Chain A
């Protein structure tokens, strides 16, 4: 195993694995020529818009579309009655109507669609649709969802999933006991590219959909069911994606654009405005957490207990898997012999919640890290030391009894961030832009207190609990204009993270070529699985590597010399002698191989004990946050936010650092400012005016230490990168504010009044 801190960045190198190759789409993106899903355009296209429910819970008595249809320029008005197939979509449960039928279960639920020749015409026509609602009692407090008298959101009850984990002594005791309650608000992915796409009706009665999404094939399955069409008639191509972070895993415009295109016979473009986007995708689950640690007087954990409630909102989306993560990973990266965890996800009439970066672990980490600090303080052990003391190590079992069989460097990670240089103490006349309140000029340093906080986390990589988590890659090698060219084709979504760069790097490494063409992502190749769970470099990377190996084997089989390799336009022996030119071997033909690749299987956990090998890989990170807090006004300025993370192998070091910095920013956002405020089922802040994400003024400098302890089970030893930093950064920021203020701060985002106590 090796451990390296990446301090200087290799920008281009030879473009192979381990080099910071540049993005192949970078030039198009800096010139404005890259085609995002909202940039698409087609001759004769019309615009689709969605009419949404104004009520969190209501019965639809009637819908009258007469006036809307009569608006000049309108080409279609659709309701649930116009759905040709099964009016149900959903990632895990088919509980979500494509268009509401009979009842609406959340504010913002799609009720009707309009297509018109101008988006404003369509919006105005939608306002002329008359929907007669009978308002029903709304269930908006998830803590009441399982009460006997709670309104039912769905006929079969309000429980989406409950899981329990029982390990060791069922009634453990310990000399030291600490406990706390914690609450996490609803976060939004706030990707910048709006939900959008273009559906083009085809002559065969099918449809071609160009859309920003995270998993083309599961989209396709869901769309086919609603349209009543076979997969060969519903063809998807990934349009340019302006960020995702989980928010594009569930459907948005997909089915609606196809329905309108098939009805009108014209290409249909849909693109949400920002206020609609806040209603148009699932959010991160708000959570209520009750935690207890029992420990020896030296701080060694004896037991851990947790009770976690996730508000799933009106439809399940991926709530069941979020419960699975919250439960199985909810006590953090610590070795704990006795465990009792209960995690539940419930239906309410609040906005639906589903996938967001960190998926079930983000909420839990705020609680277990706050509690670990409380334990450290109680037993008088340093907050870094107590994490090192209890941190998992290689060979330990986690709370589901799974043995951690590759690196678990908790102590090294937390000590690495501790040992990084601290920012200079403030002295004299500070630049107000670097103080809490900034150019609001609320302080020149008076009343400002500095605090330091730490947090560690671990996160599963890939899909878990027995899911058949595979990816497909097709790789082709041929001579073009005298030069060997590889073409890599997967359906794995590039959402900005840099997967296409990684795909190119793997092809260059395995096939010895320089030029690698990335085929458009579409459904003409097998599924790549979801761009989520930090899994694509591992799983689609594994598939591309395997396909390259198959291509290489096929080419080398044509020369009768053992142990050769491909290098540029030549086939070279183990002794470095040129055996043949690739042009001779390939001629005018091509070698193409398609491989479906799987990681090690995972297993369902035992329903009674929660024990089992639920996850395929774990990724660890630690953060140290330094904050300045204006304790009189409750304003916070994060001064430094430093990370150490084990990535197994950095395929592209620059992109790894970019993932860690961006993920850290999103975690900090949840700690300080990001919350969808929902009152009685109504979203109160659906705009970037009122839902705040960190700006460049909010973000501090970030030092990153990248550790590379190869996972022997993973291609190149990689470990998923994207999610851990989003999990550990927020708890570190919250801890730092607690350190500065002495306040308990048992809720995030931390608001000024929580700090001032007013």
Chain B
């Protein structure tokens, strides 16, 4: 089937999509946007988090066809004019990135958190990011990054 959607502000018409494909697969393998990650493809790790319209979702749990006519924002769409988004800059500077496989999902989730709550407490940060697994950092520097991004 063909699906048409807007990703990071650009319209995409994608052909030959199999009905069983996830939005994650379509982004990664058909639209050249592999920034959203495939750590579990079971909706448990959050590495594939994207905005579907204005709602963060695990793109591995969304059928590609469900994105028909809708707007998707991925981690690739957060930086503008060659400048990192403050959330990205904070993750970079705070050492919140090691292997980095969780990073795209965490950045989208943090972006969403700060949109909703510009000054989150530590428990609020932890609750908001509880769906994003990281195996490298123990999360301390991720908390540092969120606090830094929130302060800007």
Contacts and interface: CB of A to CB of B under 8 A. Distances in A.
A302 interface: no
A32 B138 contact: no
Given A242-B99, A696-B142, A697-B127, A662 B92 contact: no
B74 A191 contact: no
A23 B75 contact: no
A232 interface: no
Contact of B47 (A35, A192, A241, A498): A192
Size bracket of the B interface: 35 or more
B97 interface: yes
Given A30-B91, A696-B126, A699-B139, A38 B38 contact: yes
Given A32-B34, A688-B40, A662 B130 contact: no
A723 to B, nearest CB: 14
Contacts of B39: 192-194, 242, 274
Contacts of A23: 92, 97
A655 interface: yes
B72 interface: no
B112 interface: no
A242 B45 CA distance: 13
B35 A191 contact: no
Nearest to B89: A30
A272 to B, nearest CB: 10
A29 B95 contact: no
A210 B29 CA distance: 17
A486 B29 CA distance: 36
Given A39-B28, A658-B95, A696-B130, A191 B135 contact: yes
Contact of A662 (B98, B123, B132): B98
Interface string A654-684: 1101100111111000000000000000000
Contacts of A654: 95
B34 A31 contact: no
Interface in B74-104: 74-76, 78-79, 84, 88-89, 91-93, 95, 97-104
Q: Which of A22, A271, A658 has the most CB of B within 10 A?
A: A658
A25 interface: yes
A756 interface: no
Contacts, number: 180
A431 interface: yes
Interface string A1-43: 0000000010100000000101101110111111110110100
B123 A32 contact: no
B117 interface: no
Contacts of A39: 28, 34
A32 B101 contact: no
A148 B41 CA distance: 45
Contacts of A661: 137-141
A242 B101 contact: yes
A192 B37 contact: yes
Contacts of A498: 98
B94 to A, nearest CB: 9
Contacts of A497: 98
Contacts of B84: 27, 30-31
Contact of B92 (A22, A36, A120, A702): A22
B61 interface: no
Given A30-B92, A194-B38, A434-B123, 16 more contacts: A26-B97, A30-B88, A30-B97, A31-B35, A32-B104, A193-B39, A241-B99, A243-B136, A274-B41, A433-B127, A658-B95, A661-B137, A665-B138, A694-B138, A695-B139, A702-B138
Which 10 A/B pairs are nearest by Cβ-Cβ distance?
A32-B35, A496-B99, A29-B100, A242-B101, A661-B138, A665-B138, A688-B44, A39-B34, A32-B75, A192-B39
Interface of B: 18, 20-21, 28-29, 32-42, 44-45, 47, 74-76, 78-79, 84, 88-89, 91-93, 95, 97-104, 107, 123, 125-127, 129-143
